[in-house]
Amino acid sequence: MPGDKSVSHRAAMISALAEGTSRIRNFSASADCNATLSCLRELGVSIVREGSDLLIHGVGSDGFRGPGGPLDCGNSGTTMRLLAGILAGQDFATTVTGDESLRSRPMARIIEPLQMMGASISSNDGRAPLVIHGHKPLEPISYEMPVASAQLKSCILFAGLNANGRTEVIENEVTRDHTERMLREFAVPIESGDAEPKGEKASFAAITGPARFLARDISVPGDISSAAYFVAAAALLPGSSLQLSEVGVNPTRVLFLKQLGALGLDVEIVGVREKSNEPVGVVRVRGAERQTPSAKFDSPMMVQRLPMMIQGLIVPQLIDELPLLAVVGSQIEGGIEIRDAGELRVKESDRIAATAMNLKAMGAEVVEFDDGLRVSGQTQLRGAKIDPRGDHRIAMAFTVAGLIAQGETDIEDAECVGVSFPEFFELLDSVVER
C-alpha cells in the first residue's frame, strides 16, 4: 500500500524541523501531502525526490524564513492545523489558506490554544484564511481538548516544541498517536499516560520545549485507511481473497478491521513488526458467502431488528472509515447505526449528508441524525450516479458500493480520490476480476 497520509505529513514536518537531512521512504503521493511539501518549501526547506524516497534538508527550529505570500494548504486540514502549531512559534507572520472546502472548516479549535500560548491569529470568523503572528518563545499550557482530534493534539504538541517549558494536552477519547510516535523516533522526549481522574479514558501527552533534534531515516507504513476500501470490497464480494502487505496497523487505526471481524467478516492481521516506531503487518481478507453480525443478542428475533451500533469513545478511531462502514452496514443483517459522529459534518464534505444522499440514490433506506445515520441492512444496492461532493473518501466508499451493486455506478468527479490515494483506481483495477 502507498504510504500513510497522516504519517507522511508528520514525517515531512518533523524532518523539516530537525537539523540535517532525513530520508523518508514510501512517502504518500497524495495531493494533501504534496500541499504539506509545497508549504514547507515556501518556508525555505529544500526537498528532493529520489524515486519513491524523499530527502528533506531540515532547517532546525530556528531556520524557517517568512514566506513571500499565503501558504496554500489545498484541501488538507492536516496541513493547515499541524503547520499552524509550527508557525505559531516563529518570529514572523504567515497567512495560511486553502480550497473552498478547507476554508469552510472549523479552525477556532486551534486558534484558542495557540493564542493562549502567545500567538496572535486573525481568521474569517473561525475559518481560514488565518493570519498567524508567531511569538518566540511560546508560553507552555496544559490544555484539555474540547473535541477529539489528532490534528488539534498534534498542533499543540508542535507548538510545544517552541515553548519554554512543559506543554500538556489532555484527551478524553483516544485519537491517532502518530505525532507522539514520530517525535519519539526523532529522539524528542514525549511523556504520555493516563490522565485520571479527569475522565474514564482520559490520557495526556506532554512535551518540554524548546526541543532541538537531529535528522533521521524514516519508513512510512502503508495507509490502512486506503487499505480499508480494498478490505471492505474483498470481504463483501464472495470468493475474493486478498493480502495487503506493509500496512500500518497502529492500534489507534485498526478499529475498522476489528469491526469487520466483529461482523463475522473474514479479516486478519498477521506478521506484525515495528518500523520507524509504527507497527506494520499483513492484512488478509476473504470474501464470505453470507454475513451475519456476531453481536451477542439473546434471541434470533433481536438479530433481525437491531442495527449494529457504532457510538461513543470508539468513534474518533473510526472517523475516516465511517462512510465506508455505512456502506458495509447496508449489507449486513440488522444494518448499522452510527452516532456521536457530528465531526463527520465538518470533514472535507458533510460526510453524513453525502453518505446518506448517495446510499439513498443506490436504493438503501437511510435515516439521518445530527450526529450520524442509520442504514437498513441486507439491501441489494443498485447502480446509480454518485456525487461525492469533491470528497475523496466518499468517492472511494461509493466505488466499493458500486462493486457490490447491481448495474452501473457512475462516480462524478472521481479524480478527487487523488486527495489521499491517487493510485486508487489503478490498484483496484489490478485486483478486480471482470
Minimum Å distance from CB 10 to ligand S3P?
A: 8
Contacts for 151 with CB less than 8 Å, ≥ 6 apart: 77, 78, 81, 82, 110
On whether the CB atoms of residues 291 and 285 are closer than 8 A, the answer is: no
Minimum Å distance from CB 181 to ligand S3P?
A: 12
Q: Which residue has the closest beta carbon to ligand S3P?
A: 6
Residue in the block written with cell 439491501: 379
The one among 78, 97, 291, 330 contacting ligand S3P by CB under 6 A: 78
Q: Which residues of 418-430 are buried (b: 16+ CB within 10 A; e: fewer)?
A: bbbbbebbebbee
| Phi, psi torsion values for 270, nearest 5 degrees | -130, 165
| Phi, psi torsion values for 179, nearest 5 degrees | -65, -45
Between CA 280 and CA 271 the distance in angstroms is: 8
72 sits near ligand S3P (criterion: CB under 6 A): no
Minimum Å distance from CB 4 to ligand S3P?
A: 9
149 sits near ligand S3P (criterion: CB under 6 A): yes
172 sits near ligand S3P (criterion: CB under 6 A): no
Q: What would the DSSP string read from start to end of 243-310?
A: EEEEEE--TTTTHHHHHHHHTT-EEEEEEEEEETTEEEEEEEEE--SS-------SSHHHHHHPPEEE
175 sits near ligand S3P (criterion: CB under 6 A): yes
Between CA 417 and CA 381 the distance in angstroms is: 22
319 sits near ligand S3P (criterion: CB under 6 A): yes
On whether the CB atoms of residues 317 and 174 are closer than 8 A, the answer is: yes
Minimum Å distance from CB 343 to ligand S3P?
A: 6
Q: Which window, 64-72, 150-158, 199-207, 352-360, contacts ligand S3P (CB under 6 A)?
A: 150-158
The one among 320, 321, 333, 391 contacting ligand S3P by CB under 6 A: 320
Size of the site for ligand S3P (CB under 6 A): 12
**Contacts with ligand S3P in 251-310 (CB under 6 A)?**
none
- Residue 241, burial from CB neighbour count under 10 angstroms (0-12, 13-18, 19+): exposed
Q: Which window, 146-154, 270-278, 380-388, 397-405, contacts ligand S3P (CB under 6 A)?
A: 146-154
State yes or no: is 320 an active-site residue.
yes
Q: For residues 12 and 150, which CB has a smaller minimum distance to ligand S3P in the complex? A: 150
Q: Which window, 13-21, 147-155, 350-358, 424-432, contacts ligand S3P (CB under 6 A)?
A: 147-155
The one among 12, 24, 83, 150 contacting ligand S3P by CB under 6 A: 150
Q: Which window, 89-97, 143-151, 191-199, 358-366, contacts ligand S3P (CB under 6 A)?
A: 143-151
Contacts for 247 with CB less than 8 Å, ≥ 6 apart: 1, 221, 222, 223, 224, 227, 280, 281, 282, 283
Minimum Å distance from CB 228 to ligand S3P?
A: 12
Minimum Å distance from CB 33 to ligand S3P?
A: 10
On whether the CB atoms of residues 209 and 159 are closer than 8 A, the answer is: no
Cell of 336: 448499522
Helix (H) or strand (E) holding 232: helix 224-236
**Contacts with ligand S3P in 339-358 (CB under 6 A)?**
343
Between CA 342 and CA 15 the distance in angstroms is: 34
The CA dihedral of 233, 224, 83, 64, to the nearest 10 degrees, is: -120
176 sits near ligand S3P (criterion: CB under 6 A): yes
Minimum Å distance from CB 2 to ligand S3P?
A: 15
**Contacts with ligand S3P in 392-421 (CB under 6 A)?**
none
The residue annotated as part of the active site, out of 320, 370, 371, 429, is: 320
Catalytic residues, which ones?
A: 320
Give contact residues for ligand S3P (rule: CB under 6 A).
6, 9, 78, 149-151, 154, 175-176, 319-320, 343
